[in-house]
Chains A and B, each alone.
Chain A
Amino acid sequence: MIGFLILSLFLGIVVVAFASIIQKKLADSIILFMGVGLGSVVLFFIFNAPDVALTEAVIGAGISSLIFLMALKHLKAES
């Protein structure tokens, strides 16, 4: 059961990361990058590491995404 969960999560993360790089608009790319962070938080919890999971949740979904979205606002770019 655990092996099946880890395999499907890894597959999902790789597909979402690949889709995030080949997008044309910048806003879609940033939102799909947040999906990679979400999947990695669940994986850290399965690997019995709760401190690392908490840190990656607040920094990956909070501060890192804020930095990219503010760059989008200052750039006003679409590609």
Chain B
Amino acid sequence: MSGFTLSAVFVLTLLKLLLENIPQSMHRAGDSLLELNSTDGVANGVTTVVVYFRGFDTLGEIAVLFIASLGIGLMLSQNKRCTIKAQSNFMLHTAAKLLFPIITLYGIYVMVYGHLSPGGGFQGGVIIASGVLLLLVSHRDFEVPHSFIVALETFAGVCYVLIGLIGLFTLDVFLGNFLPHDISQMGLLMSGGIIPIIYIIVGIKVGSEMSMIAQNLIKRGDDV
């Protein structure tokens, strides 16, 4: 019965979406932004939009991630600490110790070169967190040091708002670009002013939050 109604609604939605007129020349909203990008931004267009033209939305997204991590930490860390009883495999043990520096190096590369090639802060931070996850799964008594991660995350969050306030006091624009950014340096590593700095701060915060989520999910609960 529910399958029949769902198929009927599916056919009606398709008829409505396909039979409307597809406009011949779409007016794209991003053309003006791409022109501004060649004089004010960095080589990667998406990075400029996320960090500089829409920097306030990125601040809100980091706040949402922080609240989610806070909720998971509050709910799951009341249980007692659990250990995995089975001894891990010898191959997994050795391979995880060999792979963890390579994964961290790749994550830092994606984070730092985020304004010249596809990538950025979010992707690099989550790559580093997946390397930590590999170590958590393969070693029985490895724990992420709690106070170090908390200090790192707080420092990154405070630095983001401080940079925005410095931009407000010197240029009358919140998150304004107050470092020198020349058009002649597009394509080099040190270009774009504060854009690479903010993306690195976002990457550090996201990576440490994902590591705490992973540790709370794996190491708290009843014994397996």
Residues of chain B lying within 8 A (CB to CB) of residue A73: 221, 224
Q: With A and B bound together, what is the CA distance between A73 and B224 in angstroms?
A: 8
A residues in contact with B123, CB < 8 Å: 51, 54-55, 58
B224 touches A51 (CB 8 A): no
A59 vs B130: C-alpha distance when bound (angstroms): 10
Number of A-B contacts defined by CB within 8 Å: 39
Give the residue among B46, B118, B127, B221 with the most A Cβ atoms within 10 A. Answer: B118
Flag whether B119 is at the interface (Cβ < 8 A). Answer: yes
In this complex, which of A58, A62, A73 has the most chain B Cβ atoms within 10 angstroms of its Cβ?
A: A58
Report yes or no: B126 in contact with A59, Cβ–Cβ below 8 A: yes
Determine whether A66 belongs to the interface, using a CB cutoff of 8 Å to chain B.
Answer: yes
Beta-carbon contact of B119 and A67 below 8 Å:
no
Query: How far apart are B214's CB and chain A's nearest CB, in angstroms?
Result: 7
Using Cβ atoms and an 8 Å threshold, which residues of chain A touch B127?
Answer: 58
Establish whether residues A62 and B122, one from each chain, have CB atoms under 8 Å apart when the complex forms.
no
Q: Is the CB of B120 within 8 A of A66?
A: no
Query: B183-223, CB under 8 A of A: which get 1 and which 0?
Result: 00000000000000000000000000010011001100110
Interface flags, B113-137, vs A, CB<8A=1, else 0 = 0000011101100110110010000
CB atoms of B118 and A70 under 8 A apart = no
B residues less than 8 Å from A67 (CB atoms): 217
A28-54 contacts to B (CB < 8 Å)? 50-51, 53-54
Say how far A62's CB is from chain B's closest CB, in angstroms.
Answer: 5
Q: Are B218 and A70 in contact (CB under 8 A)?
A: yes
Answer whether residue A24 sits at the interface, using C-beta atoms and an 8 A cutoff: no
The answer to whether A54 and B217 touch (CB under 8 A), given A66-B133, A73-B224, is no
Given the complex, which residues of B lie within 8 Å of A63, measured CB to CB? Answer: 126, 129-130, 210, 213-214
CB within 8 Å for A51 and B120 given contacts A70-B217, A73-B224: yes
> With A62-B126, A66-B217, A70-B218 known to touch, is A51 a contact of B118 (CB < 8 Å)?
yes
Distance between Cα atoms of A50 and B130 in the complex (Å): 20
